[in-house]
Amino acid sequence: MRDRAELVAITELGQAFEHGADIASDNIQSWGIQLEKAWLTSEDDRVSEECWENQDDGWIPYDNPFTSGDYGPLRFPGCRCTKLRRRAR
């Protein structure tokens, strides 16, 4: 039971972090500053194939989906990925 509760807690915390960062990014873009994003994995043997493929996309326009069709992590419960953001070049 503790493992399940820990998985749920970590997943909810990750989703809250990503959502908050997305709100900040949306605000920045509303000021006319264009952003790019990149997918960052933990780079270990627990990373899913789709997350590796998303990371391989490199920097993409902020409003585009990654290869998996997702717009950002978390893709599934226990996903340990995050989204990087930067000003578009």
Across the chain, how many H-helices and E-strands are there?
2, 3
pLDDT at 64: 98
pLDDT at 47: 96
pLDDT at 79: 93
Amino acid at 2: R
pLDDT at 45: 94
pTM for the predicted model, two decimal places: 0.91
pLDDT at 2: 76
Reading the block at residue 49, the tokens are: 């194939």
Measure the CA–CA gap between 77 and 18, rounded to whole angstroms: 14
* Locus of tokens 């915390």: 13
- The number of folded domains in the chain is 1
- Say yes or no to pLDDT of 1 above 80: no
pLDDT at 21: 97
Reading the block at residue 10, the tokens are: 């970590």
Q: For residue 7, give the 3-state DSSP assignment.
A: helix
Query: What confidence tens digit (pLDDT) does each residue in 15-71 have?
Result: 999 999 999 999 999 999 999 999 999 999 999 999 999 999 999 999 999 999 999
pLDDT at 31: 97
Which residues form the domain of 34? 2-87
